[in-house]
Amino acid sequence: MTDKYSYFDLVYEVTRHIPAGRVTNYGAIADYLALGSARMVGWALNHSFHPGIDVPAHRVVNRKGELSGRNHFETPTKMAELLKLEGIEVIDNCIVNFDQYFWHPQEMDKKM
């Protein structure tokens, strides 16, 4: 599993399964993968610009619901705009009712 796929690919896969209108945080993904720390998740998503794979990295935020990685997008506001288009209200780069929109990777496994 991890033999052929890098940690990146695992993070990408989980991130791709995040339903529209839902968001999660780095720690949740790291915990689900049980491979390490949230830092790596964010770091991996930084390289999310992977050819042929659309990774909704905008749905991944830090534990505070803050768009910490917006600066890495095409435009700093792109992340907030994408979330808004999905019905998530973002104010001051912070997701409103973050707990309400929170999605745990375990839901993915349950769905599958």
| Residue 105 is a binding residue for DNA (CB under 7 A) | no
Q: How far apart are CA 31 and CA 108, in angstroms?
A: 14
Cβ neighbours of residue 44 closer than 8 Å, sequence gap 6 or more: 7, 8, 11, 12
Nearer to DNA, 12 or 112 (CB): 12
Nearer to DNA, 21 or 63 (CB): 63
Kindly state the number of chain residues that form the binding site for DNA, as judged by CB under 7 A: 32
| Residue 77 is a binding residue for DNA (CB under 7 A) | no
φ and ψ at residue 94, rounded to 5 degrees? -125, 135
Which residues of the shown chain bind DNA in the complex (CB under 7 A)?
6-8, 25-27, 30, 35-43, 45-46, 48, 57-58, 60, 62-64, 68-73, 79
